[in-house]
């Protein structure tokens, strides 16, 4: 590299904000860019349904294009979508949200996370979250000028975050607790009593709770508890949800936030200047999903459950101890018996056996020693991946 181009590079870096410097590229994407150039890889990587969007949902969007629905919508989202969403939250959880002011349609839960953190965080404010956690949680808090405070969770405790641990991490700068159950990357689901204890801490210490419930429908034999249904929690909770996972609609980019008027108004201010409105075609598809997508979603969940059982049993049989995930579509086995770091394990497994998993440390320090295996892929691929992993683990197991 010439001196002038090196100097140029230094100069360009000096333009970047210190906030951006504090976050690393997503450990999920970074790893999967490698994959695009390889053949014969089985990917248990990106957390995305392998189903296409149910046809009646796509068709509704196609018809809307045919009818010329290609304009911006209201900043808050189409009134009909907000009404359907309000009805859905009432029917599912007995929660009343006014479609005119307490609901905001966003570009996926991704945008909702960005908006809520920017809406509530002042420089130096702390947000408590579990470790491991979904990759955007700490990044959004840092980009908003805040400080993520991570509470360790472990396989021994079913990767549940405890109220006592949360309380031990509260300082006078703490503004909110950010949780996401069913969880990515662990598949953990929180029981009602543990969530109620967290609600009690939030109430007593005057903290907001941001609850990312994007996997609400993907639970297996257990009930999903919506945090806002806990006593006094509706006003203190910013409930985030979306269509990507349950309806296999990742590419449509539609999510939502439900909260008090003040919080939704603040989030909407940012949204109207940075996004304007979520995609019109995606919103039409979301209306159809809420009106008549229940059966398709339930069928997909049944299928994920079959795959989950095969994946978890297979991993444990190989000797990769795996906690039983009760939600989402991830297994999070320990790879400690191989003596490798998560990144070494993932890189070698990809190189030697062409199976892609995500290193657990992409989700925080407590993810070290684990890898995330997404089972939203065909049973045949899961079985083949397990047999390749078996060969790999027998070769590398510590004596
Ligand atoms: N929250 C969690 C826990 C996720 O796993 C994901 C995507 O993987 C998102 C939010 C983002 O979802 P969306 O597609 O709605 O932006």
pLDDT at site 37: 76
Q: What is the DSSP letter of 363?
A: G
Is 42 in the same domain as 99?
A: no
Average pLDDT score over the chain:
94
pLDDT at site 338: 95
| Tally of domains within the chain | 2
250 lines ligand 1 (CB under 6 A): yes
Q: Whole domain around residue 122: which residue ranges?
A: 55-292
354-377 residue pLDDT tens:
999 999 999 999 999 999 999 999
241 lines ligand 1 (CB under 6 A): no
Q: Where are the alpha helices (DSSP H) in 144-279?
A: 163-168, 192-204, 261-274
255 lines ligand 1 (CB under 6 A): yes
Is 288 in the same domain as 300?
A: no
Specify the residue for token string 């056996």.
353
Higher pLDDT, 45 or 386: 386
Q: Looking at ligand 1, which residue's alpha carbon is closest to its atom 12?
A: 109
86-132 residue pLDDT tens:
999 999 999 999 999 999 999 999 999 999 999 999 999 999 999 99
287-299 residue pLDDT tens:
999 999 999 999 9
- Residue 177's Cβ-side half-sphere holds a number of Cα atoms within 13 Å equal to 32
Q: Identify the CATH number of the domain in which residue 342 sits.
A: 3.90.1150.10
Best residue among 28, 45, 77, 110 to mutate for probing ligand 1, ranked by most atoms within 8 Å of CB? 110
CA distance 36 to 59: 30
Q: Do strands 355-356 and 42-43 pair parallel, antiparallel, or not at all (unpaired)?
A: parallel
How many other β-carbons are positioned within 10 Å of the β-carbon of residue 273? 9
153-172 residue pLDDT tens:
999 999 999 999 999 999 99
Is 367 in the same domain as 345?
A: yes
Q: Looking at ligand 1, which residue's alpha carbon is closest to its atom 5?
A: 184
Among 292, 321, 342, give the residue marking a domain's end: 292
pLDDT at site 120: 98
Which of 346, 394, 338 is CA-nearest to residue 43? 346
Would 256 be classed as within a structural domain? yes
pLDDT at site 36: 74
Would 89 be classed as within a structural domain? yes
Q: Where are the alpha helices (DSSP H) in the chain?
A: 3-15, 18-22, 27-35, 55-66, 79-93, 108-120, 135-143, 163-168, 192-204, 261-274, 280-292, 294-318, 342-353, 379-396
How many other β-carbons are positioned within 10 Å of the β-carbon of residue 302? 10
Packed helices 27-35 and 342-353: angle between N→C axes, nearest 10 degrees = 20
Would 222 be classed as within a structural domain? yes
């Amino acid at each position: 590299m010439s001196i002038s181009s090196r100097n140029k590079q230094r100069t360009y870096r000096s333009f970047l904000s210190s906030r951006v410097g504090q976050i690393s590229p997503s450990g999920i994407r970074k790893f999967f860019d490698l994959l695009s150039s390889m053949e014969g890889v089985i990917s248990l990587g990106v957390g995305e349904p392998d189903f296409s969007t149910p046809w009646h949902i796509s068709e509704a969007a196609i018809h809307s294009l045919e009818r010329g629905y290609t304009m911006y919508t209201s900043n808050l989202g189409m009134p009909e979508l907000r009404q359907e969403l309000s009805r859905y939250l009432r029917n599912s959880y007995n929660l009343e949200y006014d479609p005119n002011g307490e609901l905001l349609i966003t570009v996926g839960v991704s945008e909702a996370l960005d908006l809520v953190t920017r809406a509530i965080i002042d420089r130096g404010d702390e947000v408590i979250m579990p470790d491991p956690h979904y990759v955007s949680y700490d990044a959004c808090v840092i980009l908003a000028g805040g400080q993520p405070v991570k509470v360790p969770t472990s396989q021994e405790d079913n990767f549940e975050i405890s109220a006592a641990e949360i309380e031990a991490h509260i300082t006078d700068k703490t503004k909110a607790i950010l949780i996401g159950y069913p969880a990515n990357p662990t598949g953990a689901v929180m029981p009602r009593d543990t969530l109620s204890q967290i609600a009690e801490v939030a109430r007593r210490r005057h903290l907001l709770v941001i609850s990312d419930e994007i996997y609400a429908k993907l639970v297996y034999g257990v009930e999903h508890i919506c945090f806002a249904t806990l006593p006094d929690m509706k006003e203190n909770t910013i409930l985030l949800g979306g269509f990507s996972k349950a309806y296999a609609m990742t590419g449509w980019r539609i999510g939502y936030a439900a909260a008090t008027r003040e919080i939704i108004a603040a989030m909407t201010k940012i949204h109207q200047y940075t996004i304007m409105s979520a995609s019109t075609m995606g919103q039409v598809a979301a209306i159809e999903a809420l009106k008549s997508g229940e059966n398709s979603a339930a069928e997909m969940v049944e299928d994920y459950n079959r795959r989950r059982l095969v994946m978890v049993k297979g991993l444990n049989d190989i000797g990769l101890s795996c906690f039983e995930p009760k939600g989402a579509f991830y297994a999070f086995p320990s790879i400690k018996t191989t003596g490798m770091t998560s990144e070494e394990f993932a890189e070698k497994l990809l190189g030697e056996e062409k199976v892609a998993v995500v290193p657990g440390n992409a989700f925080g320090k407590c993810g070290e020693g684990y890898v995330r295996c997404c089972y939203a892929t065909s049973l045949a691929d899961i079985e083949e991946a397990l047999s390749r992993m078996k060969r790999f683990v027998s070769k590398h197991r510590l004596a």
